[in-house]
Every structure is written in C-alpha cells, then in structure tokens.
Amino acid sequence: MAMDGYRGFLGLLVSALLVGFLSVLFTLIWVLHYREGLGWDGTALEFNWHPVLVVTGFVFIQGIAIIVYRLPWTWKCSKLLMKSIHAGLHTIAAILAIISLVAVFDFHNAKNIPNMYSLHSWVGLTVVILYILKLLLGVSIFLLPWAPLSLRALVMPLHVYSGLLIFGTVIATVLMGVTEKLIFALSGSKYSTSPPEGVFTNTLGLLIVVFGALIFWIVTRPQWQRPKEPNSIFLQPNGGSQEGVEGSAINFSNVDKSDSELNNEAAARKRNFIIDEAGQRSTM
C-alpha cells in the first residue's frame, strides 16, 4: 500500500530510531562510566536504574508505541494485532516506569532521604499514574470487545490528546531529573565549569529532545496516517471525514481508524426510517 512521501517518512523513522537508541546508550554510559554502575542494594547503584529504565521505557519504547500505527508495513496487518502491539509496548513502558520508581523510593528510604519534595518528583509520579490510568482505559475501551462504538468515538479524541500530552510531559520531566541529578552530583562550582560528565549528560538531554521532536513530527503528518479500512464510512458531526482527529490537519498515530467507523450507518438508517414513516403518514 503506497504512502505519500515514503522516503521522507523512512528518513525520519530511521533518524528517530537512531536518536532514541543513542539516548538509551548515552544513559547507560552515564551511569556505568560516570555514576559507578548499577545494583539493587539500596545504594546509589540502585538509584542509577531510575534514569536507565525511564529513558528506555518511558521515552524510547513509548515513542515507538505512539508511531506504530504509522508504519506502512503494518497496514495490511489486522487491526486487532496492531492494537495488541500498541498496548503491549505501552505496557512494557509502564512496567519499566514502575520499577524505576521503586528504585528511587527504595534508595531514598535506605538513605533517609525525603521523598516527593521536588517538582521533578511531583510531575514524575503524576505522569506515571496518568499513564497507567490511560493504558487501562485504552485497553478496556479499544482492545476489549465489550465497549460500545459510541463510547469509543467519544473517548478517542481524549485518548489521542492525552497520549501526546503525557509523552511531552515525560520528556520535560526527564530533563528536570537530569538537571537535578547533575546539580546534586556535581555540587559546588563543578557543574558550572562544564566538566566532562556535565557536557555528556547535557548532550543526552538534547538527544531526548530531538527524539521527542521527531516522534511528534511523524505522528502529526496527515499523509502518513494509517489508511481507512475499505468499505467503511464515518461522517463526523462537524463534517469531518474520519474519526476523531484523523481527518484534521493534525493526526496522531495512536488513533485506530476502524474503531470509530461506527454510528453513522445506524444513525442514517434511523433517520431514513423516520423520514419514511413521516412520508407514509403524510400520504395517508
């Protein structure tokens, strides 16, 4: 199935994957080379799991989950399969985020360090909770079969918007966390002198920003959206052509097209029935 601007999409996709992989690699180098490694013993080595798991799961894997519907090689796959992959990637990201929080709280408690006092911790815990709630809601409504189609159409715009809002907030939270860690680790005037660790970790932050920008660009291009299923028609109340935001100028990858190709056929039948009934009455 042809895609408009396929070469541009492929170039951006490869760039996103490369930058995302480099972000994970830079995080590992940071904790292994500059922060003495990884462990699970209540020391700083356990804390080091926090940035590794957050960048790997909450940034990189979540970003891939967001654009998975945009991959043209998957357009011939069943929608149930793509939903399962989408939900599965988000589930992996959520699990890694939860483990990263356990590592932080365990380290703080072992060292008698107060919990939840910084803006980074406030926003971070909030976004993890919202992410889990969104995941559960998405699975319940879009993956499991019992949700009515009208409910799916109602929830879809919120599902799309909240997904990108959470992803952007995660990136902002990671940047806050990286800066906070460097300030604590390079106390005094060390950070201001641009030591190698500071420059390296700042570069990590830039890579994460670039990765987020590439994901946002890929997911908001209307020409790269997953095509509508054949023989399906969905008319929006406002005159749009497809479900939610898929027919608008901004299109998001985690919008599942066929879920909302739904009520209008039933609504049209109902209207036709009313019109026919009224015509019969007038004739009589």
Q: Does the pLDDT of residue 134 top 50, yes or no?
A: yes
CB 13 within 8 A of CB 218: yes
Q: CB within 8 A of 132, min separation 6: which ones?
A: 94, 98
Confidence of residue 229 (pLDDT cuts 50, 70, 90): low
CB 247 within 8 A of CB 240: yes
Query: Distance (Å, rounded) from C-alpha 173 to C-alpha 169?
Result: 6
Residue with token string 């209207």: 271
Lowest mean pLDDT among 45-59, 198-212, 216-230: 216-230
Q: How far apart are the first and last CA of the chain?
A: 53
- So what's the pLDDT on residue 3? 84
Structural domains of the chain in order of their starting residue, each with its CATH number? 7-227 (1.20.120.1770)
How many alpha carbons lie under 13 Å from residue 139 in its C-beta half-sphere? Answer: 12
Query: Distance (Å, rounded) from C-alpha 180 to C-alpha 33?
Result: 19
Percent of the chain whose predicted confidence (pLDDT) is above 90: 74
- So what's the pLDDT on residue 1? 59
Please tell me the pTM assigned to this model: 0.81
Q: Does the pLDDT of residue 102 top 80, yes or no?
A: yes
Q: Does the pLDDT of residue 7 top 80, yes or no?
A: yes
CB 97 within 8 A of CB 57: yes
What is the number of other CB atoms lying within 10 angstroms of the CB of residue 77? 11
Tell me the two tokens of residue 257.
Answer: 């097209």
- So what's the pLDDT on residue 69? 92
25-43 per-position pLDDT tens digit: 999 999 999 999 999 999 9
Percent of the chain whose predicted confidence (pLDDT) is above 70: 80
Query: Distance (Å, rounded) from C-alpha 243 to C-alpha 227?
Result: 12
3-state secondary structure of 232: coil
